[in-house]
Each structure stands twice: as C-alpha cells, then as structure tokens.
Amino acid sequence: MTSSHTTLAFFFLLLVLASADLASDEQALLSFAASVPHPPKLNWDKNLSLCSSWIGITCGVSNLTSRVVAVRLPGVGLYGSVPPATLGKLNALKVLSLRSNSLFGSLPSDILSLPSLQYLYLQHNNFSGELADSSSSISTQLLVLDLSYNSFSGNIPSGLRNLSQITVLYLQNNSFDGPIDSLDIPSVKVVNLSYNNLSGPIPENLKNSPEDSFVGNSLLCGPPLSPCSGRATSPSILPRPLTENLHPVRKRQSKAYIIAIVVGCSLAVLLLGAVFLICLMKRTKREKQGGEGGRLQMGGVNSKKPEAFGSGVQDPEKNKLFFFERCNHNFDLEDLLKASAEVLGKGVSVRLTRPCSRTQLPSW
Ligand SMILES: *[C@@H]1O[C@H](CO)[C@@H](O)[C@H](O)[C@H]1NC(C)=O
Ligand SMILES: *[C@@H]1O[C@H](CO)[C@@H](O)[C@H](O)[C@H]1NC(C)=O
Ligand SMILES: *[C@@H]1O[C@H](CO)[C@@H](O)[C@H](O)[C@H]1NC(C)=O
Ligand SMILES: *[C@@H]1O[C@H](CO)[C@@H](O)[C@H](O)[C@H]1NC(C)=O
Ligand SMILES: *[C@@H]1O[C@H](CO)[C@@H](O)[C@H](O)[C@H]1NC(C)=O
Ligand SMILES: *[C@@H]1O[C@H](CO)[C@@H](O)[C@H](O)[C@H]1NC(C)=O
Ligand SMILES: *[C@@H]1O[C@H](CO)[C@@H](O)[C@H](O)[C@H]1NC(C)=O
C-alpha cells in the first residue's frame, strides 16, 4: 500500500520533472520564434503538441525524460538575430540547423556551449562578429561544425583544439584571420578554410587535405600549399626525426652494455668462486696429509721423474726445496715468490720436513 503510493509519487514526480524540462524547452523555442521574424508556416503554437506537431522539432529521450533533441529549420525564411537564452537553453539539443536563412548579428555563446550539441549547421546566413572566446565552453561533443558562407571574423577560437571528436569543419567564405594551429585536431576528416584571411603554416593533421580547402588565404603556407619561407618549417621538422631515431639506438646500446657487464661480472664471480673452492679443497687435503705424515708435497711434480719436464740434465736432488717447521729462519715474500717461480719453472718438489737442519737449504 505504502510502496505503491511511493511508486506513484515517484512517477508523478518524474512526470512533473519531465514536463518541466519539456516545458522549458517549449518556452525557449517560443522566445526564439518571438524575437526572430518568420513566415506563418512555422506552426509553433502552444495549442499543438510540441513533440508531434511543431515544424522542425524532434524530441527524444534524454536522462529518462522527453526533451527537444533536434531543431532543423533550413531555408524557412528566418530573418533577424538570435538572442541569447533562447535556443541556448535547449540543453538536451544534439542537432541545430539554421542554414540558408537570413540570420545576422553575432552567434550567442550559449549555443556553442550547449553540452550535448553534436551537429551545428549555420552556413549561408550572415552571422558576424567573433566566435565567443569563452573558448573552453565550446561543446566537446561536436562532430560537425559548419559556419561557412557567413561574415564571421576574428581568430579561430583556441577552444576548438579541445573538440576531440570533430570530423567535419567548414569555415570557408568568412573573414576569419590569424593562425590555425588550434585546428591541429586528429579527428578532423573534412575541412574547408578557403576564402578567409588566415595565416601561418598548415598543421600536420590537415596537410593531407586537398589544396582547395585552403585557397583564398594568401598568408597560409606549407603542404598542400607552397612551402613556408624558411623560418618555421626547417627547425621544427629536421631535428625531430634525428632525436626520435637516435634515442632508441642509444638505449638499446646501453642495455646491451649493461647485460654484457652483468654477465661478465657473474662469470667472473663464478670463476673466482670455483678457484676459491678448488684451493680450499686442496688446502684441506694438504692439511690432512701434513697432519698425518708431516710431509707435504707441493706442485704435484714428482722429483723421481725429472726427465718428463725440463731438460733432464739437472740433478733431481739439487732441485729439491726443503721447508722446515719450528725453524727460526724467516722466509719473506720475495723468497717465496722466487721459490714458486723456480718450482714452476724447474719442476721441482718442495718438501716440508720436521727436523730443523739448515744444511739442506738450497742457495737461492
Ligand atoms: C489555442 O486554444 C485555445 C483554447 O484551447 C483557443 O482559445 C486559442 O485560440 C487557440 N490558439 C490558437 C493559436 O489556435
Ligand atoms: C543528465 O543528467 C546529468 C546528471 O544529473 C547532468 O549532468 C546532465 O547534464 C544531464 N544531461 C542532459 C542532456 O540533460
Ligand atoms: C552581412 O553583414 C555585414 C555586416 O556584418 C554587411 O556589411 C553585409 O552587407 C551583409 N551581407 C548581406 C548579404 O546581407
Ligand atoms: C581544453 O580542455 C581542458 C580540460 O579538458 C581545459 O582545461 C582547457 O582550458 C581547454 N582549453 C581551451 C583552449 O579551451
Ligand atoms: C566564396 O568566396 C569566393 C571568393 O570571395 C567567391 O568567389 C565565391 O563565390 C564565394 N562562394 C559563395 C557561395 O559565396
Ligand atoms: C588580413 O590579415 C592581415 C594581417 O594578418 C591584415 O593586415 C589584412 O588587412 C587582413 N585583410 C583583410 C582583407 O581582412
Ligand atoms: C572549399 O570551399 C571553396 C569555396 O567555396 C570551394 O571552392 C572548394 O571546392 C571547397 N573545397 C572543399 C574541399 O570542400
């Protein structure tokens, strides 16, 4: 019972809200019709249903409510200027076509900033003045903007740069001037800027357009028109590919270097580890032997087979080196180095023996 009441109340509220929005749309249209003289065939009458009977009006569902989404009045003989807060209040509007009428004066900025506006056709009128450069407020939903064959003047608003979805842009036969770098928009497929007073280089994204998209602007330059004279093109175009090509190579090279260094270091560490392990094993083995018999054979070269190494002329007994434990004799580093050189060079064996008898020390 209460729930059904709530539902009913909800739907009533929705209906009121919806009709409020639609009523505000209707009011906006009537204000427009009242300020722009038009022939009687425009049957905009409160007695008729806005959505089903008014000429040029299309309704649609927007935010769950019925709203005016399109106003199409091409060539109906509208004469005069469009006041602000009329068509600019149709905030669910997606399509506005007023082409081929006799509208003049400035275009109210609230029309360009309608949040849902996708298609704006104003060509073949006599709109004049600058496009309001409250630039950020141009609808970013715009897909088609046709302002051609009017008397618009001033710079191309920088806010056009933000129209990331725009595909068709017709501005030909106006009096726009200044640079066009704000038209460097990737989404643009068709553009016509002919017969204005625009200047400067044609942006990258427009350079594949036909030449007759730009004619009648004596100060425009760059492809597809004749090249700009020095200044702008050569420094901006030449260094870019150089840096773009060099950096990845450099990066790749440094990567390779790093990998090589890491691999090399790893191998070196492994090798060192292996050598250390071998030394350790040999040492423990040696210590065992030394502990057991008190005799350590170094170099693994047996004095009994001297003919296998060297000349065989040397007396094996002469080449024997004897080290003595618990002996006061100090061998310094130089002595030891000399000894090893001799040991390695001559293939002698070094023996460590217990008794301290200096007599057997060879003369180094
Ligand atoms: C609209 O309807 C009212 C009555 O509902 C009538 O008096 C009025 O004349 C009508 N207006 C037009 C323009 O038809
Ligand atoms: C739809 O509703 C959202 C949130 O209430 C609002 O921001 C938006 O402007 C509305 N859109 C239209 C077309 O009314
Ligand atoms: C268009 O408007 C300009 C002034 O903004 C005026 O000089 C010109 O004559 C008008 N052109 C036509 C065809 O009405
Ligand atoms: C473009 O849009 C950004 C936000 O997306 C805004 O900050 C900026 O002011 C806009 N630029 C122009 C020129 O409107
Ligand atoms: C556009 O401008 C050019 C140059 O002024 C002119 O020759 C041409 O007739 C104009 N086109 C229209 C449709 O007005
Ligand atoms: C075109 O613009 C230049 C400056 O960029 C200006 O000197 C010239 O008077 C303009 N011509 C017309 C016809 O508006
Ligand atoms: C651009 O507009 C001019 C002037 O009306 C016209 O001559 C030319 O063919 C158009 N070019 C394109 C690509 O639409």
Q: pLDDT confidence of 229, banded at 50, 70, 90?
A: confident
* CB-ligand 4 contact for 158 (6 Å cutoff): yes
Residues 6+ away with beta carbon under 8 Å from 166? 142, 143, 144, 145, 160, 185, 187, 188
- For residue 161 and ligand 4, the question of a CB distance below 6 A is answered with yes
Q: What are phi and psi of 170, to 5 degrees?
A: -110, 115
Instruction: Give the integer Cα–Cα distance in Å for 110 and 108.
Output: 5
Q: Return the SS3 of 102.
A: strand
Cβ–Cβ < 8 Å for 201, 177? no
Q: What are 280-295's pLDDT values in tens digits?
A: 777 666 655 544 443 4
What ligand is nearest to the CA atom of residue 172? 7
62 lines ligand 4 (CB under 6 A): no
Q: Is 243 in the pocket of ligand 1 (CB under 6 A)?
A: no
CA of 34 to the centre of ligand 1 (A): 17
Structure tokens at 175: 């009096």
- Residue nearest atom 10 of ligand 1, based on CA coordinates: 47
Q: What is the mean pLDDT of the chain?
A: 75
Q: Is the pLDDT of residue 315 over 80?
A: no
181 CA to middle of ligand 7, Å? 20
Look at strands 297-298 and 350-353 and give their pairing.
Answer: antiparallel
Please identify, by atom number, the ligand 1 atom nearest to the C-alpha of residue 45: 13
Spatial strand order of the sheet with 102-105 comes to 79-80, 102-105, 126-129, 151-155, 175-178, 197-201, 219-221
pLDDT at 279: 58
Atom of ligand 3 nearest to the CA of 129: 5
At 63 the pLDDT is 85
Least confident range from 196-210, 268-282, 317-331: namely 317-331
For residue 149, which atom of ligand 7 is closest to its CA? 5
Report the nearest-CA residue for atom 2 of ligand 1.
47
Kindly write down the DSSP assignment for every residue of 178-214, as one continuous string.
E--GGG--TT--EEE--SSEEEEEPPGGGTTS-GGGT
Pocket of ligand 3 (CB under 6 A): 104, 126, 128, 151
Sign of CA dihedral 77, 80, 81, 83: negative
Nearest to 205 by CA among 185, 176, 228: 185
Ligand nearest to the CA of 181: 4
Give burial (CB, 10 Å; 0-12/13-18/19+) of 156. Answer: buried
47 Cβ closer than 6 Å to some ligand 1 atom: yes
Nearest CA owner, ligand 4 atom 10: 136
Lowest mean pLDDT among 118-122, 252-256, 340-344: 340-344
Instruction: Check pocket membership of 72 for ligand 4, CB cut-off 6 A.
Output: no
Q: What is the pLDDT of residues 118-143, one digit of tens each?
A: 999 999 999 999 986 654 588 889 99
Which sign, positive or negative, has the C-alpha torsion 183, 186, 187, 192?
positive
pTM: 0.66
Task: Determine contact, residues 130/105, Cβ cutoff 8 Å.
Answer: no
pLDDT tier, 324 (very low <50, low <70, confident <90, very high otherwise): very low
pLDDT above 70 coverage of the chain, percent: 57
Our measurement of the distance from residue 161's CA atom to the centroid of its chain's CA atoms, rounded to an integer in Å, reads 18
Whether 155 is in the pocket of ligand 4, judged by its Cβ within 6 Å, is no
CB 176 within 8 A of CB 197: yes
Ligand 4 in reach of 306 Cβ (< 6 A) = no
- Residue-wise pLDDT for 58-89, tens only, equals 999 988 899 999 999 999 999 999 999 999 99
CA 347 to ligand 2 centroid distance, Å: 98
Does the beta carbon of 170 sit less than 6 angstroms from any atom of ligand 5? no
Check pocket membership of 113 for ligand 4, CB cut-off 6 A: no
Rounded-to-integer distance, Cα 268 and Cα 240, Å: 42
Query: What average pLDDT does the segment 162-189 reach?
Result: 95
The pLDDT of residue 269 is above 90:
no
- 140 CB within 6 A, ligand 2: no
What is the structure's pLDDT at 214? 96
